[in-house]
Chain A
Amino acid sequence: MGIRERLSGNEAAATAMRQINPDVVAAYPITPSTEIPQYFSTFVANGSVDSDFVAVESEHSAMSACIGAEAAGARAMTATSANGLSLMWEMIYIASSLRLPIVLSLVNRAVSGPLNIHNDHSDAMGVRDSGWIMLFSENNQEAYDNTLMAHRIAEHKDVRLPLMICQDGFITSHSIENIELVEDDKVKEFVGEYHPEHYLLNKEEPIAVGPLDVQSYLFEHKAQQAEAMINAKKVILEVAEDFEKMTGRKYGFFEEYKLDDAEVAIVCMNSTAGTTKFVVDNLREKGIKAGLLKLRVFRPFPVDEVAKALSHLKAMAILDKASSLNAAGGALYEDVLSAMYVNNIHVPAVNYVYGIGGRDTKADEIEQVYNDLLEIVKTGNIDNPYRYFGLRREAK
C-alpha cells in the first residue's frame, strides 16, 4: 500500500507528472518552479515518459503551446511561478475561455517588483478570477495528491476548465519531507485516458477554436464558464472520494483542524497551515479553544461550506499571504467575509497580511494572532481589521 519516499515539493509535483505521462509539457525556467521542468526533461531524455517536452522561449509561449496542444487533443501540462505566471496572464484567461483542461503546477512566489524570488501568494491572487480551478497544498504530499486528482476534475464533462495546483515556493518546493507515493499503474488507472469530444487533430471533424466572439455571444460563453466553475464543486468532492478509496487520504474543500469546538480560529492556505496546527496544539494544551480552517479549494470558492464551518466562532483571523493594495482587505479575507455575509452569519473577523516576499512566518506570530482574537472576544473591540504580522515597522 503506497511507496514510502523522501521528496521535495518540486520532486513530488514532477513525480506526479511522470506518472500521469501527459502528451505534451511546455515550460520555461523560473525560480522556484524550475526544477519541475528540469526533472521532467530528464524523464523525457531517459524515455520514462511518452511526452514531448517543448522548451519554449517564454512563459507566454509555454501557455500558448499548452493551449495549442490541449486544443489539438493532447494532455498538456506546465509549471511556473510569479512573473512567469504574470507573463502568461493573457493566455491564462484564453485557456479557460477555450475550456481546455490544462494542468499547471504553480510554485508560489512574490510577483515583482521589486524583484524577490521568495514565497508569497501574490502570483496566485493575480489570476484568482481567471476561470482556473485553484487547489492549494500544505506540504509535498498534498502537492502530489492534488496533482493526481487534477485531470479527473479538469477534464470532467461538466467542468472542462484548466486547473492549477499551488504550493509554497522554497518552503515546500525545496524542502524534503516524507511522502507516500501511489504505484505507477494505480495512478495510470486512476487518472485514466483523455478522450476529448472535439479536437483539432480529428481530421474527420475539423473544428475552429478561438473565434472573434462579439456582443451577441461573449456574455453567454462567460456564463457557461461560470456555470462550469459551479459544477466543479461536485466533481472535486467525487474525485476526492475515489482518491480516498485508493489511498486512504481524505480531501475536501478544506481541512478543519480542531475547528468544531473552537472559539477562535485562523483561516489560511498552503504551508502556513502546518505552522498553525503546531500553535493550535500548544494552545489546546493550555485550554484555549483554538482551531484552523485550511482552505484547499480556493477556486471554486466554497461559499456556503466555509461560512457554515466558521459560523460557531467567537472571532476569527483570515491570513493573506498577498497584499491586495486596495485600502480594503486581502483576497481571502474578502471572500470569507462575503461568504459569511450572504449566509447571514456574523463572526468578528480580522485580516492579517503576512509572509510577503518570503518573510519567515513564525509560530509565536501565529500565537499572537490567537491572542489578538481572544482579546477581541473579551472586549468586543476590533479597532482596525486590516493588520500585519511579521512586518518590522507598523505601516501608517
Chain B
Amino acid sequence: MAYNLKEVVANKPSRFTSGHRMCAGCGAPPAARMIMRALKPEDHAVVAGATGCMEVSTFIYPYTAWTDSFIHTAFECAGATISGVEAAYHSMKKQGKLPQDGETKFIAFGGDGGTYDIGLQSLSGAMERRHDITYVCYDNGAYMNTGIQRSSATPKFADTTTSPAGKVIPGKAQPRKDLAKIMVGHHIPYVAQTIGYMNFKDLYEKAEKAIYTEGPAFLNVLAPCPRGWGYPTDMLMQINKLAVETCYWPLYEVVDGEYKITYKPAKKLPVEEFLKPQKRFRHMFKPGNEWMIEEFQKLVDERWQELLDLEEITNRNQ
C-alpha cells in the first residue's frame, strides 16, 4: 500500500508521547515518533536509549514518554544493552518461558556522540554478533546534551564549543566520519541513511524495513539541532530539505550490500544554501573565507559521487 502520512498518523497512535522535554525545533523527536509508528500495532518493542538529549528528556523519573518498554543504562553501551535484551528474548522464547504469540522488536536510539564516538565499539560488537535489532543514530553532529562539543560526526568548519571558530583555527579542522559505511562494512542485511522529509515517507519506509528485516539493521537519521546549529526553531523542516537537496545528507539504503540512492535531487542545490541559515557556519561567509565554502562543496561533491559509484558497482551484476 502506498505511503500516506495522514493514514499512518490516523491509524497508528503515537508510541512516543507528548510531554517530553526535547527542544522545540529539534529533529530527533519527530524522527523517533515516526520510527516507532513503523512498528505493527500488535507488536511490542523494547527500546534502549544511550545517554544523551533524547534519553534525559524522555525518561525523567517517574515519567516516561515511551509507551513500549524502555531501558537506559549508560552512554556508550546502547548496542550491548539491547544485545542483552534480545539474547534474553531469544533464550526465553526458545525455552517456552514467554508467550509464543506476537513479536517483540528491539530498537536502540543513540545520538552521534553515543554512536560514532564512545559507543562505536559496543555498536560494532552488536552488529557483528548478528542480534535481531535496529540501531538508530539520531545524528545532530555534536555533543548537544553537554553543550555543543564537537564529535566525529561534526562537519568540517563547524563552530562548536570544543572546535570554536577562532582567529587562527576556523572551526572543526576535520571532515566528518562516514558511519553508515562502517556499518556496511559489517555486512549486515540493512543499512540506511534518512531524514524527516517529504511527509516522512523515506524515514517511515526505511524504519519499517529496518525493524522487520531479520538480523541487525542500522539507521542513520540526520536530526538538526536549533541550539547547536543556530537556526530558528520553525525552520526545522526547511533545514532537513536543504540537507537533502544539496546532497549534504544523501538518502540511501544498502540492502545485503547493494546500494540504492532513494532520492536524487533533480537539481542539486549549492551547499551554501544549507550552510547559510546556520550560525555554526557563520564565519564561512565572511569576506576572504570563500575558500571554506568551496572546500565544503568539494567534500559534498566527492561523497555524493562516491555514493553514485557505489550504487553502480554494487548493482552491476543485475
Q: How many A-B residue pairs have CB under 8 A?
A: 170
CA distance A212 to B85 in the complex (A): 20
Q: Mark A170-203, 1 if CB is under 8 A from B, else 0.
A: 0000000000000000000000000000001111
CB distance from A128 to the nearest CB of B (A): 21
A54 lies within 8 A of B46 (CB):
no
Which of B79, B80, B95, B129 contacts A23, CB < 8 Å?
B95
A24 lies within 8 A of B91 (CB):
yes
CB distance from A127 to the nearest CB of B (A): 16
Q: With A209-B70, A212-B56 known to touch, is A68 a contact of B125 (CB < 8 Å)? A: no
A56 lies within 8 A of B44 (CB):
no
Question: Is residue A210 contacting chain B, with contact meaning CB distance below 8 A?
Answer: yes
Size category, A interface? 35 or more
CA distance A85 to B224 in the complex (A): 38
Which of B46, B74, B99 contacts A200, CB < 8 Å?
B46
A200 lies within 8 A of B83 (CB):
no
Which of A24, A94, A212 contacts B88, CB < 8 Å?
A24
Q: Which residues of A contact B162 (CB under 8 A)?
A: none
CA distance A26 to B122 in the complex (A): 13
Question: Is residue A361 contacting chain B, with contact meaning CB distance below 8 A?
Answer: no
CA distance A64 to B129 in the complex (A): 15
CA distance A66 to B61 in the complex (A): 23
Question: Is residue A16 contacting chain B, with contact meaning CB distance below 8 A?
Answer: no
Q: With A56-B83, A72-B46 known to touch, is A210 a contact of B88 (CB < 8 Å)? A: no
CB distance from A379 to the nearest CB of B (A): 54
B70 lies within 8 A of A68 (CB):
no
- Which of B73, B77, B82, B128 is the most central at the interface, judged by chain A CB atoms within 10 Å of its CB? B73
Question: Is residue B287 contacting chain A, with contact meaning CB distance below 8 A?
Answer: no
Q: With A57-B121, A201-B98, A214-B60 known to touch, is A69 a contact of B70 (CB < 8 Å)? A: no
CB-nearest residue of chain B relative to A90?
Answer: B74
CA distance A213 to B61 in the complex (A): 5
CB distance from B206 to the nearest CB of A (A): 25
Q: With A61-B122, A212-B55 known to touch, is A54 a contact of B74 (CB < 8 Å)? A: no
Q: Which residues of B contact A57 (CB under 8 A)?
A: 121-122, 124-125, 128
CB distance from B5 to the nearest CB of A (A): 26
Q: Mark B39-74, 1 if CB is under 8 A from A, else 0.
A: 000001010100000011001111010111111111
CA distance A209 to B70 in the complex (A): 6
Q: With A73-B92, A206-B44 known to touch, is A26 a contact of B87 (CB < 8 Å)? A: yes
Q: Which residues of B contact A304 (CB under 8 A)?
A: none
Q: Mark B69-112, 1 if CB is under 8 A from A, else 0.
A: 11111101101111111111111101101110010100000000
A54 lies within 8 A of B73 (CB):
no
Q: Which residues of B contact A76 (CB under 8 A)?
A: 84, 88
Q: Which residues of A contact B69 (CB under 8 A)?
A: 200-203, 206-209
Q: With A61-B80, A90-B74 known to touch, is A54 a contact of B48 (CB < 8 Å)? A: no
Question: Is residue A318 contacting chain B, with contact meaning CB distance below 8 A?
Answer: no
CB-nearest residue of chain A relative to B72?
Answer: A210
CB-nearest residue of chain B relative to A98?
Answer: B73
A68 lies within 8 A of B84 (CB):
yes
B64 lies within 8 A of A208 (CB):
yes
B71 lies within 8 A of A208 (CB):
yes
Q: Which residues of A contact B59 (CB under 8 A)?
A: 208, 210-212
Q: Which residues of A contact B81 (CB under 8 A)?
A: 64-65, 67-68
Question: Is residue A313 contacting chain B, with contact meaning CB distance below 8 A?
Answer: no
Q: Which residues of B contact A51 (CB under 8 A)?
A: 91
Which of B44, B64, B71, B91 contacts A71, CB < 8 Å?
B71
If over half of A's interface residues share one DSSP class (helix, strand or loop), that class is named, otherwise mixed; here it is mixed
If over half of B's interface residues share one DSSP class (helix, strand or loop), that class is named, otherwise mixed; here it is mixed
Q: Which residues of A contact B87 (CB under 8 A)?
A: 24, 26, 52, 54, 65, 68-69, 74
Q: Which residues of A contact B60 (CB under 8 A)?
A: 211-212, 214
A211 lies within 8 A of B61 (CB):
yes
Q: Which residues of B contact A65 (CB under 8 A)?
A: 80-81, 83-84, 87
Q: Which residues of B contact A98 (CB under 8 A)?
A: 73
CA distance A67 to B48 in the complex (A): 12
Instruction: Give residues of chain B (111-134) contacting chain A, Cβ–Cβ below 8 Å.
Output: 121-122, 124-125, 128-129
B48 lies within 8 A of A68 (CB):
yes
CA distance A45 to B55 in the complex (A): 38
Question: Is residue A238 contacting chain B, with contact meaning CB distance below 8 A?
Answer: no
Which of A54, A94, A201, A214 contacts B129, CB < 8 Å?
A54
B80 lies within 8 A of A60 (CB):
yes
B74 lies within 8 A of A24 (CB):
no
Question: Is residue A264 contacting chain B, with contact meaning CB distance below 8 A?
Answer: no
Residues in A lying within 8 Å of B, measured CB to CB: 23-24, 26, 50-52, 54-58, 60-62, 64-74, 76, 90-91, 94, 98, 200-203, 206-214, 217
Listed A/B pairs (14) with beta-carbon separation below 8 Å: A23-B88, A26-B84, A50-B94, A57-B121, A64-B122, A65-B87, A68-B83, A68-B84, A68-B86, A69-B88, A72-B85, A94-B74, A201-B46, A203-B102
Sorted nearest first, the 4 A-B pairs with minimum C-beta distance are: A68-B84, A65-B84, A57-B125, A61-B80
Given contacts A71-B84, A201-B85, 11 further A-B pairs with CB under 8 A are A23-B88, A26-B87, A65-B84, A68-B86, A73-B98, A91-B73, A201-B46, A203-B44, A208-B66, A209-B69, A210-B71
Residues in B lying within 8 Å of A, measured CB to CB: 44, 46, 48, 55-56, 59-62, 64, 66-74, 76-77, 79-92, 94-95, 97-99, 102, 104, 121-122, 124-125, 128-129
